[in-house]
Structure 1
Amino acid sequence: MQVYYPKLIAPVRRVGRREFDLSRHIVVMGIVNRTPNSGLDPNRSMEADAAIKTAERALRDGAEWLDVGGRAFRSDQPPLSGAEEIDRVAPVIKGIREKSDAVISVDTHLPEVAEAAYKAGADVINDTNGLRAPGMASLIAETGMSVVITHSIGGPGEVVARPHYENVVSEVADFLRQRADTAVGCGIRPEKIFIDPGHDLNKTTEHSNTITRRLGEIAAMGYPVLVACSNKHFIRESLGVAPGSEALKAGTIAANTACVYQGARVVRVHDVAGNVAAMRAAESVLGLG
């Protein structure tokens, strides 16, 4: 597997209050969940103050981007209204914004939550539904926010039994290309777009490992690739360890490093300190810094 250096659309870009040269720098995004059921996250909390403290710790550890979530992707969860999701994420976003100029994204697929998050201080919509909700793309275009377009078959909360792909990499790339084209058609500027292949989202371990090995084929689209591998099932199954295992930290760093080797430029993580050190080392090895 040869290292892949993607030719990026707008490698130097302003995201919120920060500017990144993604041809030379790997951005570490810290995860801040205000959810009771995010099984991957040892730091999850339903207390707003605790979530803000998680964000502050992530910033001290070197995160430049924080991703705030109020809804798990998993299908085995009770219904959650947009109003309830807003109540979870908006106070946390507001609290972080009062303390930091770091990039803040909100992990949501609902336009009403996206709008409330923007008003609270968020800079980016991280949409695991791939902009399929009516009105989401136009809202992002109107506000001038950046967006992470993520691949999934069913979207958050939807049951997808036995996901099947003829060619997982080409099908994920085709989806992301089509959704990015739709975003641009709705007025979102190309330099505002990031893409995420959606490791483990309606995918088996084999699918996620294949995406990791061949991520360069997705990075070749030119939009900066964000990867969200942290603590996920494909790492646990590959290592043969239980959720919450200390080995997941090392496995996550290994997966993220492999993705960066294949062109990823943003990594979404729970263990910020370990991944910051790993990404700075990766930049040096790859000659980016």
Structure 2
Amino acid sequence: MGVINVTPDSFSDGGRWFDTTAAVKHGLELVAEGADLVDVGGESTRPGATRVDEAEELRRVIPVVRGLASEGVTVSVDTMRASVAEQSLAAGAALVNDVSGGLADPAMIPVVADSGAPFVVMHWRGFLQGGNVQGTYDDVVAEVVAELHGRVEAVLAGGIAPDRIVVDPGLGFSKEAEHDLILLAHLDRLLALGHPVLVAASRKRFLGRVLAGPQAAPPPARERDAATAAVSAIAAHNGAWAVRVHEVRATADAVRVARAVEGARAGGNAPGADRPEGAR
């Protein structure tokens, strides 16, 4: 899953793809580099970011979704607003990626259920204005799994079919670096929920902490792509359905190597990861 931030303030690449034409061109480049789908978002969810209003998010997102879909790209829309999801699906998006798992907008689940689109349910403990809120855990794996399970049950009760649900542990959202690493080390517990798992580790703070060590300053976000590729290969090897990344080529190569090793272990070609119907 390649990332396009149609925002001026993303932690990673804010402003680079703010223009519709540049964003569509970049999305096509991501596909050429190996992205199976492209995730388009018009609102930064970095810690401390302020929300944009609905009209501005629509203005940013819909032309890019429409432009990419018209070129045959499988598009995911990254939004917490039901109206943006609904209009993006009408413009050709195939999947809705909501970092709040439907909690930010009560209308989200009915909209997605009516559309039949796949829905990404991320572990979320609230908006991050003012810092990394509610990031205390006694057992981060058990608590994230339990909270995701409860959210999945709510989504199912809202009418979204089981085979349309993808879960995401929410790396970096209300979590410290050690929490993110522990979750990555226990992807099997997330897979036990019975739904495909999306891992969104690209360029995040915990990778900067790992690269810098305990004393040095973390490298800038755009210097974390090799670390992202490493995490992506590990996640793919451990059963992730998809990895969400800013720089696709290195990650696509890393995942391809991981799959080849799996195939060699199995004595043949490893099958591709199953994807929910409606996405490819």
Q: TM-score range by the shorter chain?
A: 0.7 to 0.9
CA deviation map 1:79-128 (0-9, x unaligned): 4111110110000000001111x321111111111111111111111010
- Residue matched to 1:118: 89
Q: Residues 74 and 158 of structure 1 are in contact (CA less than 8 Å); yes or no, is this contact kept in structure 2?
A: no
- Residue matched to 1:47: 19
User: Alpha-carbon deviation of 1:153?
Assistant: 1.0
- Residue matched to 1:107: 78
Q: Residues 98 and 120 of structure 2 are in contact (CA less than 8 Å); yes or no, is this contact kept in structure 1?
A: yes
The whole-number CA distance in structure 1 between the counterparts of 2:166 and 2:16 is: 25
- Structure 1 residues 76 and 156, CA gap change in structure 2 (3 angstroms): closer
The whole-number CA distance in structure 1 between the counterparts of 2:66 and 2:129 is: 26
What root-mean-square deviation, in Å, do the aligned CA atoms of Structure 1 and Structure 2 show?
1.6
The whole-number CA distance in structure 2 between the counterparts of 1:31 and 1:219 is: 23
Q: 2:53 aligns with which of 65, 70, 81?
A: 81
Aligned with 1:183: secondary structure? Answer: helix
- Residue matched to 1:145: 117
- Residue matched to 1:170: 142
Q: Which moved more, 1:231-240 or 1:250-259?
A: 250-259
1:1-289 equivalences under 5 Å are 29-41=1-13, 44-100=16-72, 102-132=73-103, 133-155=105-127, 157=129, 159-161=131-133, 163-240=135-212, 241-246=218-223, 248-287=224-263, 288-289=270-271
Q: Residues 125 and 134 of structure 2 are in contact (CA less than 8 Å); yes or no, is this contact kept in structure 1?
A: no
Q: Which amino acid aligns with 1:242?
A: P
Unaligned residue ranges in structure 1 (runs of 5+): 1-28
The whole-number CA distance in structure 1 between the counterparts of 2:171 and 2:192 is: 18
Higher relative contact order (CA 8 A, sep 6+): 1
The whole-number CA distance in structure 2 between the counterparts of 1:121 and 1:284 is: 33
User: Alpha-carbon deviation of 1:43?
Assistant: 7.5
Unaligned residue ranges in structure 2 (runs of 5+): 213-217, 264-269, 272-280
TM-score by length of 1: 0.85
CA deviation map 1:37-72 (0-9, x unaligned): 111237842111111111010011111110000001
- The structure where strand makes up a greater share of residues is 1
